[in-house]
Amino acid sequence: MPCVCRMEASCLELALEGERLCKAGDFKGGTAFFEAAVQVGTEDLKTLSAIYSQLGNAYFYLKEYGKALEYHRHDLTLARTIGDRIGEGKASGNLGNTLKVLGRYDEAVVCCQRHLDISQEQGDKVGEARALYNMGNMFHAKGKQQLWGISQDPGELPPDVRDTLQRATAFYEMNLSLVKELGDRAAQGRAFGNLGNTHYLLGNFVETIKFHRERLSIAKEFGDKAAERRAYSNLGNALIFLGQFNAATEYYRNTLQLSRKLKDQVMEAQACYSLGNTYTLLQEYERAIDYHLKHLLIAQELNDRVGEGRACWSLGNAYVSLGNHRQALHYTRKHLDISREIGDRNGELTARMNVEELIEALGVKEADLSPSESEFEVFGHFPPLCCCDADVMLLRSRNQLSKSSRSKSYADSESSDERQWLDSPVDTDDITVDVTPPKLARDASDEDCFFDLLSKFQSSRMDDQRCQLDEPSNGENAGGADRNTLNDMIDASLLTSPQTEELFDLIASSQSRRLDDQRVSVSNLPGLRITHNNLGHLCGENDPQEPSDDFFNMLIKCQSSRIDDQRCSPPEGGPRAPTVPDEDFFSLIQRVQAKRMDEQRVQLPSDEQETDEDESRGSQTPEETRGQMTNNED
C-alpha cells in the first residue's frame, strides 16, 4: 500500500512539473514530464484526463499535430466514459482546434459545435464564449482556404466564400456580445481584431477600420505591443484600399517601430516592404527605394530568396520611375536570376520582358552586359554609384561584420493575444499553418477518360466477387429455367434447420467481434490503472450519455471530406517568402487592374528620346497601382 501511494504522488508530481514547464514556455521539457507521468500511471480519472489535455496542448504548440490529436481523443474518450460533460466539451473544442490547423474544417466544425452545445446545456458561459470564438475561427480559416487561387476583385467573392465568411462574422459577433456581458476586456480585443480581419476579406474596409481601431485601443490598454503592432499593420492595409495613402504610411511607420522594439525581423521586413510600395503609390520614389533596400537586406540575412526577388523587382520599378535605367536594369537582372533559381515562371517571364525593354531603352546589346551578379557593367565601365548604392554597400559591410553576433531570426511575438484567451493552449489561434491549396483544375475530357477507365476497372473487380451460375443449355428460356431451378433448390425448411441457425449464430458472433475490435476500450488508455476504486466509474455506474442523432448525422456528413486525405497533393506553390506578406501589392495589381495593365506601362525612351524622359516618367497614377497586403491574424 505505501508503494501505491508513492506511485500516485510520483505521477502527480511529474504532471505538476510538466505543467510548470509548459507555462514557462518549455513545451518540449513539459511533454517529457507528462509522458513520464503517463508511464507511471494513476487510478485518478480526473488527474489522467488533465494530463491528456495538457499533453495534447503541449504537442499542439510543438506542431506535432498527430500526437496532439491522439491525446485529445484519449481525453474525450475518458471524459465520456466517466460522464464528465464539461470535460467532454473541452476535449471536443481542443480536437476541433487541432483539426482546424490540419485543414480538416468540416470535422473541426462538428467538434466545436459539440463544445458549444455542451457549454450551453451546462450553463457554462465561459466555455460558450470560447466555443463561439473557435467556431468563428473555423469559418474564417475555411473562407481563407476557399480563396486560394480565386481571381476576384476585393469584396467580389463567390457566394460560397462570402457565406462562409459571413458565418464567421456572426459567430464573432455572438462571442463579442457574450464577453462584453462577462466583462472580459482582453477577449473583447480579440473579437474586435478578428471581426476586422473578416470584414477586410469581405471588402468592408470602413467596418474593418472601425473594428481595428477598437482593437488598437484595447491593446494599448493592456500594454500588448504585439497586438498593437498587428492593429497598426491591419489599419494601414485597409486605408490603402480607401485611397488614404498618407494615413497608411503613418500606421506602417508605427508597425515598423514596434517590430524593431519586439526584435521581430520578419515583421520589420514586411513593414519596410509595405512602406516602399505605399511611397511608390505616392510617387515618392526616393523614399520607396530606401525602404525597399532595407527590405532587401533583411531578406538576404534571413535567406529569403523570394523576398529578395520581390525587393529587386520593386527597386527596378522605382528606378525606372526615376529615369535611372542603368540601376533599373541591374536590379531587374537580379530579379530574373532569382526567379530562375526558385522556379518562379511568372516572375521569370515578367523580368525577362522588363530586361528586354530596358536594354532597348539603353541602346545596348545583352551580349555586352557583364554576367556578374554583384555589379552592373556595360562595355567594361561601371556606372556611378548613387547615394542609395553607397548606402547599400555600407549597410552590407556592417551586416557582414555583425552577422556572426546577430540572431538570424527572432521568436514570433504574435501569440500573446491568443495565449491569454483560453486556459488551454489549444484554444488559441496564434499559430500559422500553411494550408495546401485546392487541387488544380483538370480538363473535363481528361476527367471523363479517367472515370471511364476507373469504371471499367472496377466493374471487372465486382464481377470477380459475383457467384458464377452454371450456363443454361437452352437459349431463350434460360432465365426462366434458372429461376425455377433456384426456387426448387431453396426449401423453406432449410432456413429454419439447426445447421442454418448455427451458421447465422456464427456469422453474428464473428461480426460482433469485428465491431468490438473497432471500439475504444478504456483499458487501452495509457497511464490508466484500473482498481476497485474506479472500476465502478468505468463499468456502468455512470454510463456516458450517448450523442444525439443530429451529432452522428453531422459526423457522417463531414466524413466525406476525409477522402481528400487519400488524394495526392498538388505540387507545392513554391518556396515561402517570410519577409513578404502572403498577398502583396503585385498579386492584387494583377487581379484588380487586369483590364488596365496597358495604362500602367511606362513608355521607355530610346537614346534619341532622352529629352522626353520626364514626360514618360509620371505615367502611373496612385490609383492605378493600388495594392493589398495580408492582414495579420488576431
pLDDT in tens, 565-592: 444 444 445 566 788 876 554 455 445 4
pLDDT mean over 371-387: 41
pLDDT tops 60 at residue 207: yes
Which residues, 6+ apart, have CB-to-CB distance to 315 below 8 Å? 289, 292, 293, 296, 327, 328, 331
Question: Which tops the pLDDT comparison, 203 or 473?
Answer: 203
Tell me how far apart the alpha carbons of residues 170 and 371 are, in angstroms, rounded to a whole number: 57
User: What is the pLDDT, as a whole number, of residue 323?
Assistant: 93
Arithmetic mean of pLDDT over the chain: 74
User: What is the pLDDT, as a whole number, of residue 409?
Assistant: 38
pLDDT mean over 375-404: 41
pLDDT tops 70 at residue 556: no
Q: Mark residue 574 as left, alpha or beta (left: phi above 0; alpha: psi -120 to 50; beta: remaining).
A: left
- Print burial letters for 573-591: b (CB count within 10 Å at least 16), e (below 16): eeeebbbbbebbbbebbeb
Percent of all residues in the chain with a pLDDT value above 70, rounded to a whole number:
57
pLDDT tops 80 at residue 381: no
C-alpha cell at 195: 471581426
Angle, vertex CA 591, rays to CA 586 and CA 596, nearest 5: 95
Measured from the Cβ of residue 323, the count of other Cβ atoms closer than 10 Å reads 18
Rounded to 5 degrees, φ, ψ at 331 are -75, -30
To which residue does cell 473578416 refer?
Answer: 198
pLDDT digits (tens, 9 = 90+) for 333-365: 999 999 999 999 999 999 999 999 999 888 887
pLDDT digits (tens, 9 = 90+) for 598-613: 455 555 554 444 434 3
pLDDT mean over 148-163: 81
Tell me how far apart the alpha carbons of residues 382 and 377 are, in angstroms, rounded to a whole number: 5
Question: Which tops the pLDDT comparison, 449 or 225?
Answer: 225
Of 13-27, 198-212, 278-292, 486-500, give the lowest mean pLDDT range: 486-500
Which residues, 6+ apart, have CB-to-CB distance to 232 below 8 Å? 216, 251, 252, 254, 255, 258
pLDDT digits (tens, 9 = 90+) for 400-414: 434 444 444 333 333
pTM of the model: 0.66
pLDDT mean over 530-559: 54
Q: Is 178 helix (H, G, I), strand (E, B) or coil?
A: helix
The number of CA neighbours under 13 Å toward the Cβ of 407 is 7
Integer CA distances (angstroms), 612 to 316, 361, 362, 609, 615, in order: 20, 12, 14, 6, 6
User: What is the pLDDT, as a whole number, of residue 267?
Assistant: 96
pLDDT mean over 541-561: 53
CB 591 within 8 A of CB 153: yes
pLDDT band at 526 (very low <50, low <70, confident <90, very high): confident
pLDDT band at 377 (very low <50, low <70, confident <90, very high): very low
- Please give, one letter per residue, the 3-state secondary structure of 106-160: HHHHHHHHHHHHHHHHHCCHHHHHHHHHHHHHHHHHHHHHHCCCCCCCCCCCCHH
pLDDT band at 463 (very low <50, low <70, confident <90, very high): low
CB 219 within 8 A of CB 196: no
User: What is the pLDDT, as a whole number, of residue 514?
Assistant: 56
pLDDT tops 80 at residue 291: yes
Tell me how far apart the alpha carbons of residues 441 and 426 are, in angstroms, rounded to a whole number: 35
Tell me how far apart the alpha carbons of residues 87 and 228 are, in angstroms, rounded to a whole number: 34
DSSP 378: B
pLDDT band at 433 (very low <50, low <70, confident <90, very high): very low
Tell me how far apart the alpha carbons of residues 274 and 236 are, in angstroms, rounded to a whole number: 9
pLDDT band at 423 (very low <50, low <70, confident <90, very high): very low
User: What is the pLDDT, as a whole number, of residue 587?
Assistant: 57
pLDDT band at 562 (very low <50, low <70, confident <90, very high): low
Of 259-263, 430-434, 491-495, give the lowest mean pLDDT range: 430-434
E-only strand ranges, 21-130: none
